[in-house]
């Protein structure tokens, strides 16, 4: 993205962003007009819903200008992945080094972003001298660390993860030099020290595997309920959101966030990523997109959910492959900084209506619902919509959509029908084509085209009710079909692909 574009993009002023970050309520923004030619950013979309949308980053990445172009424009909040941790900021007792953290806050200030400080008290990335301290000296060292670090960043960090990862997965307290020296009281002591050092920062406790209802989130709930009751300065709970498609989506995430909000606390998704086994296939990326969408929806469903931070926005700089060998592809953008289906899913969940979006093929997306009452009869009935999310009309004459399925046994020739379309079925073309190299879930596709016409900016074709069968009317098993979904209401469908003049512009082929 060019500097010119960046400087004209819609961005609330720093004070507005800060206000949002600290208020924890959905507030309407009085932002300037969207850049005429620029698509709204993730943060623009989130801001319109009273939230921020942020990304982690790290110092080595700041020399990658393609990376920083997007970091500085698409996101309204950043979190240093490493550079405010104890081993960086106080590698030797009493010797503080803020150079790397300052580079992050400097970047944020230059780009009108807020910063979540991460993290003051954590069992990991702790220099050896802390673990070697006699127990009686740990509290003073911890308070001094918090006082110096939070004091240094006063005014440039909007929120702190004061205590990170205090729990084991079973909900018991994790041992650490702090817990060993002070028991669980170290948490209240740390929060009080942080509040004294920076009374304006929002103070969080942050953990992973607490996104859904369960033993660990119950433990967090009990902890913060007690802190609130005692008047300890805690403002929010961070839910890291390191998810994996192979482990399922956390159960009851919205309800879980809501119960913390009901204590009068802010909640935030602080480190979102969704990993999978490599190599990433279309199915994994499509599932991943639904996880990102569901996290956004959970946050938007809770008024006190102040924002979402992804744990870096690109696979290029993900921590996942290093920590989980054989896994990765966890982020919104791929290794080449190209948006993945999850990016479109997040945009849609944030309410992107395409206003001010770019003209042209990149603005098209397919939506789908199943119109089938039976997945095992002799007809397949996809309902499709084509949406132009952009700011200019799209000529439909070169546009096609593909719905991918398996023919199963029986005839290899097909009949296709359009049962209804507000465009008029006579304006649609449809046919079934066989794939030269079948893939899992697909050996044929239904191709839908438009003889002519154009799709105005921000509009949809409306529902196109399609139907197909084999000429021998033998049955299908649709359950394993690539594009098939069970949903009976329209949703963005990255497994229904869209082409302009034969070039893929939306979705992933099988
Ligand atoms: O992203 C961080 C990575 O670069 C470090 O190597 C790693 C070391 O533990 O920490 C990563 O960030 C972690 C965060 O600070 C706390 N939650 C889990 C994150 C992923 O490990």
91-139 per-position pLDDT tens digit: 999 999 999 999 999 999 999 999 999 999 999 999 999 999 999 999 9
Per-residue three-class SS string for 138-179: HHHHHHHHHHHHHHHCCCCCCEEEEEECCECCCCCECCCHHH
Asked whether the whole model's pTM tops 0.95, one would answer: no
Tell me: do 385 and 340 sit in the same domain.
Answer: no
Total domain count, the chain: 2
Same domain, 209 and 249: yes
Hey, is 96 helix, strand or coil? Answer: coil
Question: For the domain that residue 382 is a member of, what is the CATH number?
Answer: 2.60.40.710
Q: Which of 81, 87, 120, 127 to mutate to test the pocket of ligand 1 (most atoms within 8 A of CB)?
A: 81
Cβ of 90 less than 6 Å from ligand 1: no
Query: Does residue 91 contact residue 127 with C-beta atoms inside 8 Å?
Result: yes
240 in contact with ligand 1, CB cutoff 6 A? yes
Domain boundary among 351, 380, 409: 351
**Same structural domain, 274 and 399:** no
426 pLDDT above the threshold of 80:
yes
Residue 327 and residue 466 in one domain: no
pLDDT of residue 38: 56
Residues 343 and 367 in one domain: no
Residue 369 lies in a domain: yes
Cα–Cα distance measured from residue 354 to residue 492, given in angstroms and rounded to the nearest whole number = 13
- The answer to whether residues 341 and 368 belong to one domain is no
Full residue range of the structural domain in which residue 473 is found: 362-506
User: How far, in Å, is the centroid of ligand 1 from the Cα of 5?
Assistant: 32
- In this prediction, residue 89 carries a pLDDT of 98
In a domain, 8, yes or no: no
| 193 and 297 within one domain | yes
pLDDT tens for residues 185-206?
999 999 999 999 999 999 999 9
- On whether both 327 and 458 belong to a single domain, the answer is no
422: left (phi over 0), alpha (psi -120 to 50) or beta: alpha
Catalytic member of 40, 90, 139, 271: 271
Is 309's C-beta closer than 6 angstroms to any atom of ligand 1?
Answer: no
Report whether residue 241 contacts ligand 1, using a CB cutoff of 6 Å.
no
**pLDDT at 29 (0 to 100):** 22
Asked if 285 contacts 340 with a C-beta cutoff of 8 angstroms, the reply is yes
Give 454-481 as a 3 state SS string: EECCCCECCCEEEEEEECCCCCCCHHHC
User: What residues contact residue 66 under an 8 Å CB cut-off, 6+ apart?
Assistant: 337
Q: Residue 287: give its domain's CATH number.
A: 3.20.20.80
Is 165 catalytic? The answer is: yes
Residues 97 and 132 in one domain: yes
**pLDDT higher than 60, residue 21:** no
Q: What is the DSSP string of 481-493?
A: -TT----SS-EE-
Do 189 and 288 share a domain, yes or no?
yes
Ligand 1 center–CA 319 separation, angstroms: 7
**What is the pLDDT at residue 5?**
25
Classify burial at 353, counting beta carbons within 10 Å of its beta carbon; exposed 0-12, middle 13-18, buried 19 or more.
middle
Report in angstroms the alpha-carbon separations of 49 from 44, 78, 268, 299, 443: 9, 18, 14, 10, 42
Please state the separation of Cα 9 from the chain's center in Å: 21
The answer to whether residue 33 sits within a structural domain is no
pLDDT attached to residue 500: 87
Distance CA 6, CA 17 (A): 17
Instruction: Report the pLDDT averaged over residues 137-154.
Output: 98
Q: Could you confirm whether 297 is annotated as catalytic?
A: no
Kindly indicate the confidence band of residue 10, based on its pLDDT and cuts at 50, 70 and 90: very low
CA distance 29 to 51: 10
- Together in a domain, 138 and 284: yes
CA of 480 to the centre of ligand 1 (A): 37
Question: How many angstroms separate the alpha carbon of residue 466 from the centre of ligand 1?
Answer: 48
User: Is residue 17 domain-resident?
Assistant: no
Task: Tell whether 18 is covered by a domain.
Answer: no
Residues 305 and 409 in one domain: no
Residue 444 has pLDDT above 60, yes or no: yes
Among the three residues 326, 351, 376, which one is the final residue of a domain in this structure? 351
Report if residue 20 sits inside a domain. Answer: no
Q: Is 145 within a domain?
A: yes
Give the atom of ligand 1 at the shortest distance from the alpha carbon of 124: 9
Provide the pLDDT for residue 354: 60
pLDDT band at 244; cut points 50, 70, 90: very high
Residue 11 is assigned to a structural domain of this protein: no
| pLDDT at residue 340, as a whole number | 94
Of all residues in the chain, the percent with pLDDT exceeding 70 is: 90
Q: How far, in Å, CA of 466 to CA of 458, rounded?
A: 23
Alpha-carbon distance of 113 to 494, in angstroms, equals 31
CB-based contact 146:164 (threshold 8 Å): no
Mutation probe of ligand 1 site: the residue of 82, 101, 162 with most atoms within 8 A of C-beta: 82
Residues linked to residue 267 through DSSP beta bridges, in sequence order: 237, 305
Domain end: 323, 351, 379, which one?
Answer: 351
């Amino acid at each position: 993205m060019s500097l010119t574009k960046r400087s004209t993009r819609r961005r609330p002023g720093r004070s507005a962003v800060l206000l949002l970050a600290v208020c924890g309520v959905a507030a309407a923004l009085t932002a300037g007009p969207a850049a005429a030619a620029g698509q709204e950013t993730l943060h623009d979309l989130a801001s319109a819903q009273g939230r921020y949308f942020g990304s982690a980053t790290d110092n080595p990445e700041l020399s990658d200008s393609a990376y920083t172009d997007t970091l500085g424009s698409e996101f309204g909040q950043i979190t240093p992945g490493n550079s405010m941790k104890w081993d960086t900021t106080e590698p030797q007792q009493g010797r503080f080094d803020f150079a790397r953290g300052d580079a992050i806050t400097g970047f944020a200030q230059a780009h009108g972003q807020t910063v979540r400080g991460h993290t003051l008290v954590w069992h990991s990335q702790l220099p050896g001298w802390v673990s070697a301290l006699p127990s009686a000296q740990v509290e003073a060292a911890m308070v001094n660390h918090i006082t110096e670090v939070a004091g240094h960043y006063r005014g440039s960090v909007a929120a702190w993860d004061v205590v990170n990862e205090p729990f084991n997965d079973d909900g018991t307290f994790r041992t650490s030099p702090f817990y060993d020296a002070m028991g669980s009281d170290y948490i209240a002591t740390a929060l009080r020290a942080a509040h004294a050092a920076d009374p304006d920062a929002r103070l969080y406790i942050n953990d992973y595997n607490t996104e859904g209802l369960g033993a660990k989130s119950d433990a967090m709930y009990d902890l913060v309920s007690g802190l609130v009751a005692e008047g300890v300065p805690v403002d929010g709970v961070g839910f890291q959101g390191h998810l994996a498609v192979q482990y399922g989506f956390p159960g009851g995430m919205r309800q879980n966030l809501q119960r913390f909000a009901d204590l009068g606390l802010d909640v935030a998704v602080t480190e979102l990523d969704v990993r999978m086994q490599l190599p990433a296939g279309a199915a994994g990326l499509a599932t991943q997109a639904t996880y990102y969408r569901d996290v956004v929806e959970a946050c938007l469903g809770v008024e006190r959910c102040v924002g979402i931070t992804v744990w870096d926005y690109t696979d290029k700089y993900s921590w996942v492959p290093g920590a989980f060998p054989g896994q990765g592809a966890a982020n919104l953008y791929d290794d080449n900084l190209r948006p993945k289906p999850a990016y479109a899913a997040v945009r849609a969940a944030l309410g992107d209506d395409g206003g001010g979006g770019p003209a042209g093929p990149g603005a098209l997306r397919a939506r789908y619902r199943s119109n089938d009452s039976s997945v095992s009869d002799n007809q397949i009935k996809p309902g499709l919509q084509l949406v132009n999310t952009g700011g200019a009309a799209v000529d439909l004459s070169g546009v096609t959509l593909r719905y991918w399925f398996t023919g199963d046994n029986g005839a290899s020739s097909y009949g296709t029908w359009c049962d209804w379309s507000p465009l008029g079925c006579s304006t649609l073309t449809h046919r079934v084509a066989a794939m030269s190299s079948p893939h899992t879930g697909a050996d044929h596709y239904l191709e839908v085209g438009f003889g002519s016409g154009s799709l105005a900016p921000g509009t949809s074709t409306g529902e196109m009710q399609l139907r197909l069968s084999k000429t021998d009317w033998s049955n299908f098993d649709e359950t394993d079909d690539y594009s098939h979904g069970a949903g009976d209401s329209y949703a963005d469908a990255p497994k229904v692909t869209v082409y302009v003049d034969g070039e893929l512009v939306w979705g992933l082929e099988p």
